[in-house]
Chain A
């Protein structure tokens, strides 16, 4: 592998990893704070992508579409938490799995009814549609660089929110001792609604910004969900920092494995996960 190709693949891996982080961060946040294992998280990614397509078709503007989709996702998150998830806090993980798997089927059916089964595509927004030449053939689309920067930005915002703000303090407190937070007169149920809605929104926003780079198809949520779980398990369930490192590791390993050991590439991320769990059974940054 030449140096140029190595650098190109490094960029590819980092960019894929950053997108994975954006999706996985919501999953790990909800698990860390609320102890809820949300298997329907991938469906939120799918819904984000479909909403992006729908509003681009109807408004013609990707920016408007992104904002509207994010708001809808936030409201959807509040609705789901208030009507469904709420009943699961005192139950075991198996019940949570049952409900959230059921939600996957419901969302898939809704998607099929509302938007059909044909693959859909969203054009890259005009403003970001140029490319930067890397080699004589290869170009790097500005949009993908934008996506990478956006993901880093979200990571910084999340880090700041959790460590420096009152909401973050509550989240951290809720993580370590729910009863004590309640005793201090904090409305934990409202906190949970907020956290769950943010989790849903993060997944949907990831779906929105992924839409111009991917094909919008039924089942896209399930594919990404598996990679997200690998990220979250590697990073340590509930750890945002872990999700960040885990996502970059998965992105890089998957990219380089595709080129260097193509026969093994479909299992490399699982081998990585097994290896890390051998060394650190709770993941890299378990809380």
Chain B
């Protein structure tokens, strides 16, 4: 037994030495290392999985564009835990020497990752987390985002509300970063056009006892209600809004997440809700139709917003590698290639702002027969103001 251990130790030592001796600099024949930092378990597990599927699908379909280079994925489960983010990010940066780090879903995790990755060698691409700061005060040459800033989906709704003739609106969300940023963006365009936010309700996160608040809204009788809620909270809110009789009497507006991935659970209660977002499953263009079909064939289930965002992240990497003929060793050239790429996305083509956030269409959608139906373009090629970004 002892002897065996000794042999194993010797072998291990040998292997370690060999590994250490290999030069750290990647050559053009090495695989491109893509670190994937997504939640694969817990509440956001489904979102992480869809993002990963989209990412892999794009890179597989565009394998020919990679100029002979292959992709090595290094997957890390963030469990959507902000406290674990710095540790995982630094392992991908310093141990794995990842060329790209794709992640995360959760804004809190994004903050932890940025702390470690800002101005470092790996390129960080955020496929979901929408905290304004990531492409605002914390922006950096090596940080990109393929999803949205919290500001983007909510800002156009102010104008939609004004156009509908609403003057007095109550806003409501959970009392946390993304929710507050969503309400502020709505308020910005709504008040600029002469609208009045008569009450702003911030519910402690993750509380879902909405009855007391809804009773109060009913007594205020605003022209409309604008909210940000997502996931389980969105289901509960929409059901309560209906059950307490507000539906059909006070129009409900929301940032698109109110009706993303929740429609089946919300059922009849969601009909008629208006939301704004940079995508809709039902978006009728050839790229989206074909994407949805291919995704369903590949993974045996329908695609969603998160799959699209993962897919676009994959396209972004493939585009950049192609334009550099496979040589991504010069980081300055790589960043410039990423900045100048146009993504042929299912959501419509988009480019990147100076702060590395998508300049993209925002659509107005209405829930009709359990689907988010696009009724008009709420804001074409909308660019986040990137307040606080000095780049």
Q: How far is the CA of A16 from the CA of B218 in the complex (A)?
A: 19
Contact-size category for B: 35 or more
> How far apart are the CA atoms of A137 and B217 in the complex, in Å?
10
A266 at the interface (CB under 8 A from B): yes
B215 touches A12 (CB 8 A): yes
Which B residues between 44 and 89 are near A, CB-CB below 8 angstroms?
44-46
Contact A12 B43 (CB under 8 A): no
Inter-chain contact A215/B243, CB cutoff 8 Å: no
Would you call A99 an interface residue if the criterion is a C-beta within 8 Å of the partner chain's C-beta atoms? Answer: no
Binds B, one of A2-10, A34-42, A193-201, A231-239: A2-10
- A151-190 CB contact bits vs B (8 Å, 1 = yes)? 0000000000000000000000000000000000000000
A106 close to B (CB within 8 Å) = no
Q: Which residues of A contact B201 (CB under 8 A)?
A: 262
Interface hub of B175, B232, B249 (most chain A Cβ within 10 A):
B232
Which stretch (B135-143, B262-270, B347-355, B375-383) binds chain A?
B262-270
Which of A117, A124, A139, A143 meets B45, CB within 8 Å?
A: A117
Closest to A217 in B: B232
Q: What is the bound-complex CA distance between A228 and B46, given in angstroms?
A: 29
Complex partner residue of B244 from A2, A16, A141, CB under 8 angstroms: A141
In the complex, the answer to whether B215 meets A138 with C-beta atoms within 8 Å is: yes
- Give min CB distance, A219 to chain B, whole Å: 6
Asked if B231 CB lies within 8 Å of chain A CBs, one says yes
Map CB proximity to A onto B222-251 as digits: 1 under 8 Å, 0 otherwise. Answer: 000000000111111001100111100110
B-chain residues with CB within 8 Å of residue A214 when the two chains form the complex? 208, 236, 239
- Contact B213–A219 (Cβ < 8 Å): no
Find out whether the CB atom of A215 lies under 8 angstroms from the CB atom of B265: yes
Contact A5 B216 (CB under 8 A): yes
Is B261 engaged at the interface, CB distance under 8 Å to the other chain? yes
Query: Which residue of the partner chain A has the closest CB to B217?
Result: A137
Rounded to whole angstroms, the CA-CA distance of A16 and B216 in the bound complex is 16
Is there contact, CB below 8 Å, between A259 and B213? yes
Inter-chain contact B212/A116, CB cutoff 8 Å: no
Q: Smallest distance from the beta carbon of B156 to chain A beta carbons, Å?
A: 26
Contact of B204 among A8, A135, A144, A266 (CB under 8 A): A266
A15 to B243, CA, bound (A): 14
Contact of A138 among B213, B218, B234 (CB under 8 A): B218
Using known A-B contacts A121-B239, A138-B244, A220-B232, determine if residue A112 contacts B45 with beta carbons closer than 8 Å. Answer: yes
**A139 lies within 8 A of B245 (CB):** yes
- Does A137 contact B245, Cβ atoms closer than 8 Å? yes
B6 part of interface (Cβ distance < 8 Å):
no
How does the 8 Å CB contact mask read for B25-45 relative to A, with 1 for contact and 0 for none?
A: 000000000000000011111
**Is residue A246 contacting chain B, with contact meaning CB distance below 8 A?**
no
How close is A211's CB to chain B, nearest CB, in angstroms?
A: 11
**Is there contact, CB below 8 Å, between B212 and A12?**
yes
Closest to B214 in A: A138
Central interface residue in A133, A137, A256, by most chain B CB within 10 Å: A137
Give the chain A neighbours of B250 by CB distance below 8 A.
Answer: 137
**B residues near A123, Cβ cutoff 8 Å:** 267-268
Q: Is the CB of B211 within 8 A of A255?
A: yes
CB contacts (< 8 Å) of B233 on chain A: these are 215
Q: Does A265 contact B (CB under 8 A)?
A: yes
| Interface flags, B259-284, vs A, CB<8A=1, else 0 | 00110111110000000000000000
Contact A133 B215 (CB under 8 A): no
Distance of A203 Cα from B287 Cα, bound (Å): 49
Is A223 an interface residue, CB under 8 A from the partner?
yes
User: Could you tell me if B267 and A119 are in contact, using CB atoms closer than 8 angstroms?
Assistant: no
A274 to B125 CA separation, bound complex (whole angstroms): 46
Does any Cβ of B come within 8 Å of A77's Cβ?
A: no
Q: A117-B46, A121-B265 in contact; A112/B209 too (CB < 8 A)?
A: no
Q: Evaluate whether A119 and B262 lie within 8 angstroms (CB atoms) in the complex, with A138-B245, A255-B211, A262-B201 already known.
A: yes
A143→B211 CA distance, assembly (Å): 14
Query: A213 contacts the other chain (Cβ, under 8 Å)?
Result: yes
Contact of A119 among B211, B212, B232 (CB under 8 A): B232
CB of A193, distance to nearest CB on chain B (Å): 33
Question: A249 near B: Cβ within 8 Å?
Answer: no
Asked if A229 is an interface residue, CB under 8 A from chain B, the answer is no
- A5-B219 CB under 8 A given contacts A116-B46, A131-B245, A137-B246: yes
A254 touches B43 (CB 8 A): no
Q: How far is the CA of A220 from the CA of B208 in the complex (A)?
A: 10
Name the residue of chain B whose CB is nearest to the CB of A266: B204
Note all chain B residues with C-beta closer than 8 A to A255. Answer: 209, 211-212
Given contacts A118-B265, A119-B232, A121-B265, contact A135 B45 (CB under 8 A): no
Encoded as 1 (CB less than 8 Å from any B CB) or 0, chain A from 224 to 257 comes to 0000000000000000000000000000001110
**Closest CB in chain A relative to B94 CB, distance in Å:** 31
Contact with A along B273-301 (1 / 0, CB 8 A): 00000000000000000000000000000
Nearest-CB residue, chain B, relative to A19: B209
- Nearest Cβ on chain A to B50's Cβ, whole angstroms: 11
**Supplied contacts A112-B41, A116-B46, A256-B212, 6 more A-B pairs, CB within 8 Å:** A15-B211, A137-B246, A138-B215, A138-B219, A215-B262, A258-B209
8 smallest A-B Cβ distances: which pairs? Answer: A139-B245, A217-B232, A215-B235, A121-B265, A266-B204, A215-B232, A138-B218, A258-B212
Q: Which residues of B contact A (CB under 8 A)?
A: 41-46, 175, 201-204, 206-209, 211-213, 215-216, 218-219, 221, 231-236, 239-240, 243-246, 249-250, 261-262, 264-268
Interface residues of A (CB under 8 A from B): 2, 4-5, 8-9, 12-13, 15-16, 112, 116-121, 123-124, 131, 133-135, 137-141, 143-144, 213-220, 223, 254-256, 258-259, 262, 265-266
User: Can you give 26 A-B contacts (C-beta < 8 A)?
Assistant: A4-B219, A12-B211, A112-B45, A118-B46, A118-B261, A118-B264, A121-B264, A123-B268, A131-B245, A133-B245, A135-B219, A137-B218, A137-B249, A138-B218, A140-B244, A141-B244, A143-B243, A215-B231, A215-B233, A215-B265, A219-B43, A223-B206, A254-B212, A255-B209, A265-B204, A266-B175
